[in-house]
Structure 1
Amino acid sequence: MVEIDGMKMVQTRAILNYIATKYNLYGKDLKERALIDMYVEAAMDLNELLMIHPFQPADKKEEHFATMLDKATNRYFPVYEKVLKDHGQDFLVGNRFSRVDVQLLEILLMAEEFKPDILAKFPLLQSFKARISNIPTIKKFLQPGSQRKSLPQEKDVSKVMKIFY
């Protein structure tokens, strides 16, 4: 739950859409919003795949890892690479910073935590990651000691598994 502007909000996407709209990060018109939503939903699909990996049973972890890398490098990343190439701009939608840029950056960073060279075949995504990471507020957030969370550690996974299973 997030408390913002006198409201108590739940549901991640509702919160993100509210913040994006409030801070003009949700496109200039309905068409841009639709593109942002479309790219965010795809990003969230990959995000979920990455986030559940640490919680896979030991006997399924290797298979899940291979599937996760395959989908990232053969399904999702090529699409975003093509969007950047076809669009020819610095950002994914409309040549201005939007919430999908933040979402994709987080996924790229998370994917690199699993496999540091995962972006090797995607030069436009590499450039995108560098460009978005250097926006002053994002750069500050990515510094060591920030609130950004890394992948769950084994001790955290054990706690979660005890609680839910």
Structure 2
Amino acid sequence: MPPYTITYFPVRGRCEAMRMLLADQDQSWKEEVVTMETWPPLKPSCLFRQLPKFQDGDLTLYQSNAILRHLGRSFGLYGKDQKEAALVDMVNDGVEDLRCKYATLIYTNYISFADYNLLDLLRIHQVLNPSCLDAFPLLSAYVARLSARPKIKAFLASPEHVNRPINGNGKQ
């Protein structure tokens, strides 16, 4: 039986870093997958009422960064001394700052002016080379999603847009 158990939802989320660490250290683990049906009765028993839950033998941990630090200490991945450990903590805190910004982007339903600028540029690329985004499914989906917004869709179909060249070389 594997010495580690990860209890989490069927997504990468907060557990993929620990999975990669364990895999790279040639460790096996068991996954206990939590579904939307099994989560409500499990939630009250979880510390902080959240996942991931990580078991290392008789040690149960919550909080993904605490789990990563535990694994880092266990496998000698936390620096050779206190000074290096402090630097590792600093870098991980920077990563956490980025993760929080990412979470804001994916869980907030808003659109910024930068989205319009990027949409315009990507659509221009598609005019010049219609298959240019084929190898980039997320960008293709982004263009499709924004282009399908009712008011943007109407604008893109309007004669004002359709008949206006991209630039002075006449490309439409």
* TM-score normalised by structure 2 residue count: 0.34
* TM-score normalised by structure 1 residue count: 0.35
Structure having the larger proportion of residues in strand: 2
Higher relative contact order (CA 8 A, sep 6+): 1
Structure having the larger proportion of residues in helix: 1
